[in-house]
Amino acid sequence: MTSERDLAAEARAWPFEEARKLLQRFGGPDAPRPPEKGYVLFETGYGPSGLPHIGTFGEVVRTTMVRQAFTRMSDLPTRLFCFSDDMDGLRKVPDNIPNQEMVAQHLGKPLTAIPDPFSNEHESFGHHNNARLRRFLDEFGFDYEFQSATELYKAGRFDQALLRVLERYDEVMAVMLPTLGPERRATYSPFLPVSPTTGRVLQVPLTGTDPEAGTIRFRDEDDKEVEQPVTGGRCKLQWRPDWAMRWYALDVDYEMSGKDLIDSVKVSGRITKILGGRPPEGFNYELFLDENAEKISKSKGNGLSVEEWLRYAPSESLALFMFQKPRAAKRLYFDVIPRAVDDYLAFGERFAAEAEPAKRLENPVWHIHDGAPPAGGSPVSFALLLNLASVCNSEDPAVLWGFISRYAPGATAESEPLLDRLLGHAIAYYRDFVKPNKVYRAADEIERQALEDLLAALEALPDDAGGETIQTEVYEVGKRHPFADLRAWFKALYEILLGQEQGPRLGSFMALYGLEESRVLIRKALAGESLSAA
């Protein structure tokens, strides 16, 4: 029997492709050599001036998928650092925090030197947001190690690397200056000293450097010239040199980033080599778009938050959205949620039915669940649950479970935990998105004749007819009437019976809703009765 390692070596899913690329860094699959530090280091970065967002989730879950694939190919130990750049000076007060006047008094200081505006629970604003990040990651069960820039700078973990930047100052400047505009170029330095008098992170030109002493000179905010070591947390670096320094100091082996950072990756990679290190492997993922195909921006507030997605769908569906086509720009808005949920269910069913181990490794649920997807799925799709709530006009789980248990005998909230979760999500989605936008219309003459024909066909079926049998009758009726195509027939049924332009597979839905209840729905439509409380 072929081993999982042999299968992983040939698997085409993108995390395996990335893992193979990373494995070449250590000599290839036959005899990989462990790095000197003793483990392969994956890293993701986080700017803690804001709260964790959907991009944070995407980067960590995708990196985790590559790490999982790598462990199937090699026995080399791995670690994942989630790095918080919390020593950055705060440039402006965020709009979504309390005590903004207090925070404004500390502009320019490292985030970990600004009092917590939310409460006295945390040591600083940075510590508060770092706690939010860790809680956010822990909720998803990520295996990671949190790293704070402030702690590493102050503990001296970066001292040797900072001294190396000082030694190679001219070479680093030669890389950076062509990337800057004329004004910035005139005053630029990769070092940002922390003022000994105010504690602010200063963007000031240097008046001198002394690599042997390990110091820089600059004018402080009181205009007095200061000579100060670059070590011990007395300065930090501008972000692209900082990224390179971190790669060098920690010996990072793999880090992915957004497509908007391609040039920065190249610049930071060049600086890493100047310092004597090797840039990490990785790839650039595409950015998300909103429903109007515009780039999602935190400042604009367009797009979805993680909290919003998880209100309407399980986290597994969000992980699937992140897995699929990471190098393609994708629209991220509320309407993509139902499809993502049902795609997740479909992949789960396919995984359970798949006999070939090689094909299982290509299935997204293998990557979402680290090779061990939970047994059992849902006997009812998310789309059907949404339409059941829509037709019943009910937000009461007990009412909906009455229909579900008849469709899937023996199904209960206890026996079908995933279905129970989906039902809660479906009710929330129906309440917020479907219910406010339902618009029923009357049938025209051609549609009335087709509905009468459909009603007669359904009345001829036994009450326990299955979804496929019902679906066949719906198709045959549509073919017998002068619709432009079957799509027009189904669209008419959705608009007349469900009050929406799109809908479920009608045979499956009518089997779930009940054949007699479906007949009643059609009779009411033919009689011109309101279906808003069907």
Can you state the percent helix, strand and coil of the chain, rounding each to 5? 50, 10, 40
* The residue to which tokens 């070449």 are assigned: 24
Which tokens hold the place of 324?
């699929």
Shared domain check, 425 and 355: no
Q: What is the pLDDT of residue 427?
A: 95
Report helix, strand or coil for 5.
helix
Q: Could you please report the per-residue DSSP string of 30-61?
A: SSPPPPTTSSEEEEEEE-TTS---HHHHHHHH
Do 279 and 391 reside in the same domain of the chain? Answer: no
In a domain, 197, yes or no: no
Beta-bridge partner residues of 79: 41
Structure tokens at 493: 């049924």
The DSSP call for residue 471 is H
Alpha-carbon gap, residue 43 to 366, rounded angstroms: 22
**Tokens at residue 454, please?**
């459909």
Beta strand 78-84 pairing with 145-148: parallel
Instruction: Tell me 498's DSSP state.
Output: I
In a domain, 377, yes or no: no
Handedness of CA 381, 386, 392, 396 (dihedral sign): positive
Contact between residue 257 and residue 284 where contact means Cβ atoms under 8 Å apart:
yes
Q: Which residue intervals of 140-200 are DSSP H helices?
A: 149-154, 159-167, 169-176, 182-187
Please answer whether residues 56 and 133 qualify as being in contact, where contact means their C-beta atoms are separated by less than 8 angstroms.
Answer: yes
Cα within 13 Å of Cα(4), Cβ side: 15
Please state whether 450 falls in left (phi above 0), alpha (psi between -120 and 50) or beta.
alpha
First to last CA, the chain: 56
Task: Name every residue whose Cβ is closer than 8 Å to that of residue 255 and which is 6 or more positions away in sequence.
Answer: 42, 43, 44, 45, 63, 247, 280, 282
In a domain, 211, yes or no: no
The residue among 285, 315, 348 that closes a domain is: 285
d(CA 448, CA 458): 15
| Residues 102 and 128 both lie in one domain | yes
Domain-terminating residue out of 415, 437, 459: 437
Instruction: Say if 191 falls within a structural domain.
Output: no
pLDDT at residue 1, as a whole number? 58
- In DSSP notation, 327-377 reads TS-EE-SGGGHHHHHHHHHHHHHHHHH---HHHHHHSHHHHHTTT-PPS--
Tens of pLDDT along the chain (534 residues) come to 579 999 999 999 999 999 999 999 999 888 889 999 999 999 999 987 766 778 889 999 999 999 999 999 999 999 999 999 999 999 999 887 899 999 999 999 999 999 999 987 899 999 999 998 999 899 999 999 999 999 999 999 999 999 999 999 999 999 999 999 999 999 999 999 999 999 999 999 999 999 999 999 999 999 999 999 999 999 999 999 999 999 999 999 999 999 999 999 999 999 999 999 999 999 999 988 877 777 766 545 556 788 889 999 999 999 999 999 999 998 888 899 999 999 999 999 999 999 999 999 999 999 999 999 998 899 999 999 998 998 887 889 999 999 999 899 989 999 999 999 999 999 999 999 888 988 999 999 999 999 999 999 999 999 999 999 999 999 999 999 999 999 999 999 999 999 988 888 899 999 999 999 999 999 999 998 877 655
Q: Which residues pair with 371 in a beta bridge?
A: none
- My answer on whether 399 and 469 are in the same domain is no
Q: Which tokens sit at 498? A: 């469900």
Same domain, 104 and 251: yes
Residue 130, classed as helix, strand or coil, is helix
User: 127 in a domain, yes or no?
Assistant: yes
Q: Tell me the whole-structure pTM to 2 decimals.
A: 0.91
Assess whether 522 and 386 both reside in one domain.
no
pLDDT at position 147:
97
Q: Say if CB 366 and CB 507 are below 8 A apart.
A: no
pLDDT recorded at residue 347: 97
> Would you list the DSSP string of 69-114?
HHHHH----EEEEEEE-TTSBP-S--TT-S-HHHHHTTTTSBGGGS
Residue 398 belongs to what domain range? 382-437
* Long-range contacts of the stretch 371-378 (C-beta < 8 A, 24+): 371/4, 371/68, 371/72, 373/348, 374/418, 376/416, 376/418, 377/345, 377/348, 377/349, 377/352, 377/418, 378/345, 378/416, 378/418, 378/419, 378/422
Does the residue 40 lie in any domain?
Answer: yes
- pLDDT score for 435: 87
DSSP 8-class letter at 465 = -
Residues 140 and 270 in one domain: yes
Q: Running DSSP on this structure, what letter comes out for residue 156?
A: T
Look at residue 302 in the predicted model and tell me its pLDDT.
56
The domain total for the chain is 4
Q: Is the domain of 131 the same as that of 14?
A: yes
Candidates 340, 254, 224, 302; CA nearest to 74 is 254
Q: Indicate whether 503 and 393 sit together in one domain.
A: no
Asked whether residue 215 is assigned to any structural domain, the reply reads no
Q: Is the same domain home to 394 and 522? A: no
Place of tokens 């080399």: 76
Last residue of a domain, one of 285, 320, 351: 285
The radius of gyration computed from the CA coordinates of the chain, to the nearest angstrom, equals: 29
Shared domain for 300 and 388, answered yes or no, is no
Residue 140, domain member (yes or no): yes
Q: Where do we find the tokens 């483990």?
A: 39
Residue 33 CA to residue 48 CA, distance in Å, equals 35
Closest CA to 239 of 43, 46, 51, 42: 46
Interatomic CA distance for residues 58 and 309, integer angstroms: 13
Rounded distance between C-alpha atoms, residue 27 and residue 18, angstroms: 15
Same-domain check for residues 51 and 169: yes
